[in-house]
Amino acid sequence: MTEMTPVTDTNANAADAEAPKKMVLPDAQTVTAVRHWTDRLFSFRVTRPASLRFRSGEFVMIGLMGDPHPETGKQKPLLRAYSIASPSWDEELEFYSIKVQDGPLTSKLQHIKVGDQIILRPKPVGTLVHDALLPGKRIWFFATGTGFAPFASLLREPQTYEDYDEVIITHTCREAGELQYGAELIESLKDDELLNEVIGEGFWKKIKYYPTTTREESAKMGRITDLMRSGEAFADLGVEPLNAETDRAMICGNLAFNLELKEMLEDYGLEEGANSDPKHYVVEKAFLD
Ligand code: A2P
């Protein structure tokens, strides 16, 4: 990470001399919408740099300027990896974030408002991309918490429906309120005129959504890993357990979840792929501050 000093607005004229100088952040983008889902979760949208191209499922580094150094007054950008939650064709960028009250970045980021600026390094990377998977019949998106973000992008990506007959999204959260962002997004796909036109009328019928909670009562309780081990998840979904012939998978959640599910997928016979070597499944850690 390079140390950067904020640039002051060079267009400021003499009349503005008395006014506080407007800071222009490097790689600045402007916030266009903010929505708070729970006291732990929020999503926001920002302007998209004209030159930014990315593949649905990738992440970028975003953040804010840190506090000035007590002696030098210099400020360093405070950046973290965030999956882009919007699809590659969207004219804005969307992000889905946790709020950690003493987290270096999210303790500040959670207070952003429309019109504020954030820093966005326009260098997208990531493993949760269609290019890292071999052709298959059914794709599984496995998420916990804010790990839903890359799938919010991929669920709005036409290629997901061109490549697969079935799209299964599982989302495990502690509390029911934490499922709302995902649930609303999936529900909104049905009435999305643009997507129905571009992908094909009724494309959303390929989706099977399987939300579960672990610490609050909801329609389906339990960790997805346990529900798969017992066979309950497959029975509920009306599908066979995964196999390398037909199933492809993407995993994004907390570290323990990723590791446990990775081992399970290996037991089903699936192998981990990469951009340079496409196989049956890919994994990425969800951002935590
Ligand atoms: P649990 O409540 O049983 O820990 P977090 O907010 O801590 O990132 O967790 C998000 C969700 O992921 C929680 O519902 C949590 O369940 C679940 N989870 C955590 N670790 C695992 C794991 N190893 N396998 C499956 N689910 C997990």
Which spans in the chain are helix H?
A: 106-109, 149-154, 158-163, 180-190, 193-199, 224-229, 232-237, 255-267
What integer pLDDT is reported at residue 26 of this predicted model? Answer: 66
Ligand 1 geometric centre to CA of 54 (Å): 29
Instruction: Report in angstroms the alpha-carbon separations of 109 from 44, 63, 76, 146.
Output: 10, 8, 15, 15
What integer pLDDT is reported at residue 215 of this predicted model? Answer: 98
Ligand 1 geometric centre to CA of 254 (Å): 7
What integer pLDDT is reported at residue 14 of this predicted model? Answer: 40
CA nearest to 118, candidates 12, 21, 45 = 45
With a 6 A CB cut-off, is 225 part of the ligand 1 pocket?
yes
Question: Does residue 144 have a pLDDT over 70?
Answer: yes
pLDDT, tens digit (0-9, with 9 covering 90-100), for 258-287: 999 999 999 999 999 999 999 999 999 887
Question: Does residue 4 have a pLDDT over 90?
Answer: no
Question: Does residue 186 have a pLDDT over 50?
Answer: yes
pLDDT, tens digit (0-9, with 9 covering 90-100), for 158-175: 999 999 999 999 999 999
Ligand 1 geometric centre to CA of 104 (Å): 23
Please state, in angstroms and rounded to a whole number, the distance separating the CA atoms of residues 164 and 251: 17
Mean pLDDT value of segment 219-238:
98
What integer pLDDT is reported at residue 25 of this predicted model? Answer: 63
What integer pLDDT is reported at residue 23 of this predicted model? Answer: 54
Percent over 90 (pLDDT), the chain? 87
What integer pLDDT is reported at residue 11 of this predicted model? Answer: 39
| Sign of the dihedral through C-alpha 176, 182, 185, 187 | negative
With a 6 A CB cut-off, is 106 part of the ligand 1 pocket?
no
- The answer to whether the beta carbons of residues 199 and 161 sit under 8 Å apart is yes
Ligand 1 geometric centre to CA of 59 (Å): 22
Mean pLDDT value of segment 185-197:
95
Determine the residue type at 198.
V
Question: Does residue 17 have a pLDDT over 80?
Answer: no
What integer pLDDT is reported at residue 287 of this predicted model? Answer: 78
- The answer to whether the beta carbons of residues 139 and 250 sit under 8 Å apart is yes
Question: Does residue 5 have a pLDDT over 70?
Answer: no
Mean pLDDT value of segment 50-57:
95
What integer pLDDT is reported at residue 168 of this predicted model? Answer: 98
With a 6 A CB cut-off, is 215 part of the ligand 1 pocket?
yes
Q: Which tokens in the block code for residue 89? A: 């064709």
- The answer to whether the beta carbons of residues 103 and 289 sit under 8 Å apart is yes
Q: Bridge partners of 91? A: none
Mean pLDDT value of segment 215-240:
98
CB atoms within 10 A of CB 116: 16
What integer pLDDT is reported at residue 288 of this predicted model? Answer: 75
Question: Does residue 226 have a pLDDT over 60?
Answer: yes
CA nearest to 40, candidates 199, 176, 243, 131 = 176
Mean pLDDT value of segment 176-189:
98
Secondary structure (H, E, C), 31-92: EEEEEECCCCEEEEEEECCCCCCCCCCCEEEEEEECCCCCCCCCCCEEEEEEECCCCCCCCE
Mean pLDDT value of segment 75-88:
95
Mean pLDDT value of segment 236-262:
97
With a 6 A CB cut-off, is 157 part of the ligand 1 pocket?
no
Mean pLDDT value of segment 95-101:
96
